[in-house]
Structure 1
Amino acid sequence: MLKIKNIHLIYCIVLACFLSSCSSIYMPNVPSTPMFKKAGEVYVGGHFNAKGNISANLGAAVSDHIAVIANGSSVNTGANSNDYFRQWLAEGGIGYFTTIGKEKRQVLEMYAGYGVGSSKDHEQRASVYGYELVEAREMNFDKIFLQVNYSSTRKKKINIFGDKKELNYGTAIRLSRVGMKEFWLNEMVSPTEENYFIEPLFFTRMELLNGLQIQYTNGFNIGLNSNEYLKAGNSVFTLGLVYTFGK
């Protein structure tokens, strides 16, 4: 059993390294995972990583089962390296949520939404004069997404430094259609591409204060179309804070 677990761990590490090494003009964001339980709750979140990927989330439960969400993200990496990438993305959605089980420790959410964004991806190489541009890729794009969230709160709280903290685990799975509205290759107008992405994401939250939690998120994307530029390859590993308050 230990050997099997080690093999699975090695496989996950190799997969993560492979996905991180691929080049794509699209970077998935951290989606909203508010995990609402009742009307009147409001959710805010912020996530970041060392590569310059910053995401912000907002959500509100407008009734006992209907909620709205909004997401924004910005990526700014590699100004002085081989990998120069810029992206901004804004999106919003509406959906349904409900609690599951007698103790209401599980939450299920389903959302649909729309977003727009822009990306710049410059391939550069080092030279005696600094970094020289090899190829410049830029696009404006829009996206439509369907998203399912599921989370479960640990029945027993964990003891950290003599204080009991709530811990929960969750999964968000997205099906996103991303399409180029405009595409430029070395500043020349070029044929556009579209792709359908399956974007699984996993998160762990630990309570810090009442309503405030620290969240670790990891995920990746799978592209269903074989494209040259708009393809899968970028993974998501972030650390953030989420805060939920309400009536």
Structure 2
Amino acid sequence: MIVKKLRPLIVSTILFLLTGCSSMYMPNVPATPMFRNQGEGYITGHVNTKGNISGSFGVAATNHVAVIANGSYVKNGIKSNEEFAQKLVEGGIGYFAKMGKNKRQVLEFYGGYGIGHTLNIDKRASTTGFEAVETREMDFDKIFVQVNYSSTKKRKLNLFGNKNELNYGTAIRLSRVGMTNFTIDGIDAQKEENLFIEPVFFTRLELFKGFQLQYTTGFNIGIIDNEYLKAGNSIFTLGVSYNFGRKK
């Protein structure tokens, strides 16, 4: 109970500490379908003020096995001192199960693989706009394992006279990210790799059957002290998710 009350403060503090760090890697919003039965599907989309767009899709192949796919795109800072652009796609397979006396909790385990590309440009202001000072570009791949947990409140939230289901959850991801190609100003540079711990916290409010509004926060921690491939970019998004094919 104490941890739950302190969680927003902990997250805010860590995000504050990480603000201003520059990294060649930006984590995407992980898939958190929280499946309950075979044949259930899941689709979601998220966006934030930095222009980071993420989407996920998943399907429960059996009563315990599911597959997921994620994609994200971000491009910002075109008219600023630093431009950042990244594309990332990934897929995975995992196991899910309902838990608790009333089966209100869901636990999921996933493992998967992804590839991506990042362009990072340092600039300086000039009389004609912004000029590039240093351009860094990398291709990368990633291997991840992920644990998802969610719980649905027994009492529903009253909103505009209707009772809406509210659930909250956590996804903890361990990602090994490695550069497959890295250049600085077009010249090959020393490749880096890192192991990231990526906790994510989400809250969902069901607006109508299967359709939910989702708020997500998170951060990443880099195990290796790198110069370019390091922690520093947080997750802060608002999105929608839709679960279909769910049995009562």
Does TM, scored on the shorter chain, surpass 0.5? Answer: yes
User: Match for residue 39 of structure 2?
Assistant: 40
1:173-212 equivalence runs, <5 A: 173-212=172-211
**Cα deviation 1:186-236 (Å, max 9, x = unaligned):** 110111000000000000000011000000000000000010000000001
* Structure 2: runs of 5 or more not aligned: none
Distance 1:219 1:158 in 2: 24
Report the 3-state secondary structure (helix = DSSP H, G, I; strand = E; otherwise coil) of the residue aligned with 2:19. helix
Deviation at 1:37, TM superposition (A): 0.5
* Aligned partners of 2:11 and 2:218 also within 8 Å: no
Distance 1:11 1:150 in 2: 19
Change (3 A) 1:218 1:11: closer
User: Match for residue 103 of structure 1?
Assistant: 102
Distance 1:9 1:142 in 2: 31
Deviation at 1:15, TM superposition (A): 2.6
Distance 1:137 1:94 in 2: 33
User: Match for residue 146 of structure 1?
Assistant: 145
Distance 1:8 1:103 in 2: 25
Deviation at 1:14, TM superposition (A): 4.0
Give the residue type in structure 2 aligned to 1:190: A
**Cα deviation 1:55-79 (Å, max 9, x = unaligned):** 0100000000000000000011111
Change (3 A) 1:166 1:9: closer
User: Match for residue 92 of structure 1?
Assistant: 91
| Paired-residue identity, % | 60
Deviation at 1:130, TM superposition (A): 1.2
Task: Give the root-mean-square deviation of aligned CA atoms.
Answer: 1.6
Deviation at 1:162, TM superposition (A): 1.1
Give the residue type in structure 2 aligned to 1:95: G
With normalisation by structure 1, the TM-score equals 0.95
* Aligned partners of 2:44 and 2:57 also within 8 Å: yes
Report the 3-state secondary structure (helix = DSSP H, G, I; strand = E; otherwise coil) of the residue aligned with 1:21. coil
Distance 1:127 1:150 in 2: 50
Deviation at 1:18, TM superposition (A): 2.8
With normalisation by structure 2, the TM-score equals 0.94
User: Match for residue 230 of structure 1?
Assistant: 229
**Cα deviation 1:5-58 (Å, max 9, x = unaligned):** 999866643431332311000000001000000101000000001111000100
User: Match for residue 244 of structure 1?
Assistant: 243
Change (3 A) 1:6 1:212: closer
* Structure 1: runs of 5 or more not aligned: none
Q: How many residues align?
A: 243
**Shift >4 Å, 4+ stretches:** 5-12
Distance 2:204 2:5 in 1: 25
Moved more, 12-21 or 172-181: 12-21
